[in-house]
Amino acid sequence: MKAKSLVGSLFILALLGAGACGCATSEAKPEAQAKTEKADDSWTESLVASEERFVTSGRNRFFILERGYELVLEGEEGRKTVRLTIRVLNETKRVADVETRVVEERETAGGKLIEVSRNYFAIGAQSRNVYYFGEDVDVYKGGQVVHEGAWLAGANGARHGILIPGEIRIGARYYQEYAPKVAMDRAENLSTNATAKTTAGTFQNCLKTKETTPLEPGNVEYKLYAPEIGLVQDGSLRLVRHGFVKP
């Protein structure tokens, strides 16, 4: 999930349970792939426990997956005002034999639509982990729609990831998306006492994460999630509105 942009051998949910998040990229060279694999050793790849039950609606402390819930963030990038609207839709999609909830993200720059993505999530009924099962992405370039960065768990070696764990452990490092050569976003929990000042209010005791991807070494993004609200700061974008709208 780009929110400016939730199996083989099962690892134990030691650090918190993990998964994988997405970015489009070109194919890495062999030597780059070797470095990536070595770097990945320090990131948790643990997936869902065998007894986990997925549901399409629910929440944990930092993420709300309930139909009609919407977040709107705005900020300046370059000389343009960027707006990101994230809405939980009244739609579901079956991915990797799991029924998931569709969350739509619409991003505009200077008032023009530049990207629409449909993201697929489920909540762990026991763990309250928010599992990320993939996304379909439409990028608008020169009046044309280009499909970039799409991935689905269960296809081409992709596996679901965890966007936000139900239990936050500082220092935990986990995959949000896991789609080799396509989407490999990962996050590290830095703090749960960060403060975010936005036009929608000042939010305290926020979860602060650091997001990176081995597909784009050196690319770092920081995000803040407010308790019972969700994403309130994503780089230069800050929350301007949140709440429930008609699905």
Q: Which two tokens stand for residue 113?
A: 């639509």
The widest CA-to-CA distance across the chain, in whole angstroms, is 50
Report yes or no on 104 lying in a domain: yes
> Which residues form the domain of 103?
30-244
User: Residue 15 falls within a domain, yes or no?
Assistant: no
Residue 200 is assigned to a structural domain of this protein: yes
Is 12 part of a structural domain of the chain? no
Per-residue pLDDT of the chain (247 residues; tens, 9 = 90+): 654 443 333 333 333 333 333 333 333 333 333 333 333 557 765 555 567 899 999 999 999 999 999 999 999 998 899 999 999 999 999 999 999 999 999 999 999 999 999 999 999 999 999 999 999 999 998 778 988 889 999 999 999 999 999 999 999 999 999 999 999 999 999 999 999 999 999 999 999 999 999 999 999 999 999 999 999 999 999 999 999 998 6
Q: Residues for the chain: how many in total?
A: 247
Q: Does some domain include residue 6? A: no
Whole-prediction pTM: 0.83
Count of structural domains, the chain: 1
In a domain, 164, yes or no: yes
Q: Name 52's Cβ contacts closer than 8 Å, sequence gap at least 6.
A: 124, 125, 126, 127, 129
Three-state SS at 39: helix
Closest CA to 84 of 94, 74, 99: 74
Cα–Cα dist 136/138, whole Å? 7
3-state secondary structure of 164: strand
- Location of structure tokens 């296809």: 155
β-pairing verdict for 58-60 and 63-65: antiparallel
Residue 3 included in any domain: no
Q: Residue 53 CA to chain centroid, in angstroms?
A: 20
Residue 133 forms part of a structural domain: yes
CATH number of the CATH domain containing 232: 2.40.360
